[in-house]
Structure 1
Amino acid sequence: MYNLIVGIVIVLSILMIIAIMMQPSKQNSAASAFTGGADQLFGKQKARGFEAVMQRATAIMAAVWLILLFVLVYLSSH
């Protein structure tokens, strides 16, 4: 069981990296590289289309990844 979950976590980690790399960049200028995009944090623009799908997929994969890691910690301690 432990090895199966470790395998799933590894595959999920690779998929999350791919999903994050596929997301379009939101930085328009060199100044936004220094601010870290803080000006867009409270913006009212919602993601649409492909960007929305990628954001949702990344969030779901991250949540599943985190849950699986907690399960691994529990299994390793017992």
Structure 2
Amino acid sequence: MDKVIFDVLLVAMLIVSAILVVSILMQPSKQDGAADAFSGGSGELFERRKARGFEAVMQRFTAITIGIWLLLGFMLVVLSTK
């Protein structure tokens, strides 16, 4: 029974990993502020701008996906020690 649960969790981990990679790659680039910070620009590097629209949705989705990924990883570790 433990082997079946382990295999199901492993497949779920692989699927969530693929979704996580795609969600990270879909997030908008923030290179604008980095270029200004290194060239002595306006100092927007340390300003915290609130995400809106698509960017906010992707940030929340990525955070939730990371949480699920960590939970699955922890469950796999616990099952592998039995």
Aligned length: 73
Gaps (5+ residues) in structure 1?
Answer: none
Max Rg structure:
2
- TM-score with structure 1 length normalisation? 0.83
Distance 1:39 1:33, change over 3 A: closer
Higher RCO (CA < 8 A, seq sep 6+) = 1
Matched with 1:39 is 45
Q: CA RMSD in A?
A: 2.1
Distance 1:69 1:33, change over 3 A: farther
Which runs of structure 1 show a deviation greater than 2 angstroms over 4 or more consecutive aligned residues? 29-34
Maintained 8 Å contact 1:20/1:58: yes
Percentage of pairs with the same residue: 47
Maintained 8 Å contact 2:37/2:45: no
Gaps (5+ residues) in structure 2?
Answer: 39-43
**C-alpha distance in 1 between matches for 2:14 and 2:36:** 33
